Structures are given as structure tokens and as C-alpha cells.
């Protein structure tokens, strides 16, 4: 909901709209969800949190692709 409001208010100054999207993006982590299990493993591509972040990042990318990339990079797990 917060992301949709931020999208509707895109005319706000850059810092304010980015802050709204950032709060919504990172607030997803606080949602209580159950992991999606497929074939005995956690299916991260169908995880509700992943899907919400993906939707929000796509919404941001339409207007500010660089910021969408920053948001996505902020939750990427390091590859070893």
C-alpha cells in the first residue's frame, strides 16, 4: 500500500519519494510469511517477500531505474 501511495505521489521531491519507496521495500522484511517449499527445498523465486520486492522494484524502475537497482542490491545475498 505504501508503495502505491509513493507511486501516486511521484511528483514529490526526489528525496521524499525515494524515502517512501525505501521504507516500503525494506518493510517487506517485517511481514510474517511462510517459506514456499518445492521439491523439499525453499523456493526463493516464489517467496512472497521476493515477489513483493520484485513488484515494487518494477514500479520504481518505470520512473527511476537507478534507484530500483539500488533497492535490489540492498537485499541481495552475497555470492561466495
pLDDT digits (tens, 9 = 90+) for 3-13: 777 666 666 67
Q: Which residues contact 48 (CB under 8 A, 6 or more apart)?
A: 31, 33, 36
- pLDDT bin (cut points 50, 70, 90) of residue 45 is confident
Asked if residue 63 is part of any domain, the answer here is yes
What range does the domain containing 43 cover? 2-68
75 occurs within a structural domain: no
Residue 74 lies in a domain: no
How many domains does the chain contain in total? Answer: 1
- Structural domain includes residue 29: yes
User: Distance (Å, rounded) from C-alpha 54 to C-alpha 68?
Assistant: 10
Q: What is the pTM of this model?
A: 0.73
Mean pLDDT along residues 53-79: 88
The answer to the question of residue 27 being in a domain is yes
In a domain, residue 79? The reply is: no
59-68: average pLDDT: 91
Helix (H) or strand (E) run with residue 37 in it: strand 37-38
Residue 76 lies in a domain: no
Is 60 among the domain residues? yes
pLDDT at res. 80: 62
How confident is the model over 21-30, as pLDDT tens digits?
899 999 998 9
Amino acid at each position: 500500500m505504501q508503495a502505491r501511495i509513493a507511486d501516486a505521489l511521484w511528483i514529490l521531491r526526489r528525496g521524499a519519494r525515494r524515502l517512501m519507496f525505501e521504507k516500503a521495500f525494506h518493510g517487506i522484511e517485517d511481514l510474517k510469511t511462510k517459506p514456499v517449499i518445492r521439491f523439499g527445498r525453499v523456493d526463493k523465486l516464489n517467496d512472497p517477500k521476493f515477489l513483493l520486492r520484485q513488484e515494487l522494484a518494477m514500479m520504481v524502475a518505470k520512473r527511476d531505474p537507478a534507484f530500483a537497482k539500488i533497492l535490489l542490491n540492498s537485499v541481495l545475498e552475497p555470492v561466495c
